Amino acid sequence: MKHFISIIFTALCFWSCSDFLEEHKTTSLSDNEIYDSEQALECNINGCYLSLHGTSLWKGGTFNEYLGSASAMLLWGGDRTSDEWLDAMYLTKYSTSNAGNKSIWTQIWAGINRCNRLIDNLPESPVEAAYKTEIEAEARLIRAIFYYTAVRLWGDVPIIRTSPVTSSELYNPREAWYKVYKFVLEDLTFAENNMRDPARVEAVTPRDNRPSK
């Protein structure tokens, strides 16, 4: 038995570590494959919408309750002496110092990054230019929704125009609220001018209920 163990140990000593540690990717897709077809671009847009779908702000009317200083009085259906109602009145539920705010903040910026990553990679995609412009317009519409939500909830927020490549690019300083609104309007103007009309939406993505001009 000891002799057998010695043989195995000797074999391991001569086994090339570089071969043992070499990675062989079998399922990962390259950036080229992720953006190389019309179907791939549509999948990326669906990913951008996923961040909207997964954000609790748009479920059950929560967003409407907390957006404006008067919204609590106009829309609140419960006890107006409760702490929750006061949170709504003073917009404290989604303040940056509130621990429960973390998931909302994270989901919004994750959604913005998905839009940015798609927009950044469109120029190198081999898909027809007109199709890519339609995709960019829809991605910019979604990004505008995220930034509009962020600026309504927190006022001054960072503007991140491209997908960060280094960690230092994650920590942009806050921009004044009016600059954020200007950025939102730029995205919405591009979307208005370049998004698909209703007939085109139904032809390309039938029964998906996707937005149009």
Question: CA-CA distance, 15 to 141, in Å (whole number)?
Answer: 55
The band of 58, judged by pLDDT with boundaries at 50, 70 and 90, is low
- Reduced to 3 states, what is the DSSP secondary structure of residue 41? helix
The band of 69, judged by pLDDT with boundaries at 50, 70 and 90, is very low
The pTM assigned to this predicted structure is 0.72
Q: Dihedral (C-alpha) 132, 135, 139, 142: value to the nearest 10 degrees?
A: 160
Question: CA-CA distance, 131 to 152, in Å (whole number)?
Answer: 32
Q: For position 5, what pLDDT does the model report?
A: 62
The band of 104, judged by pLDDT with boundaries at 50, 70 and 90, is confident
Q: Is the pLDDT of residue 32 over 80?
A: no
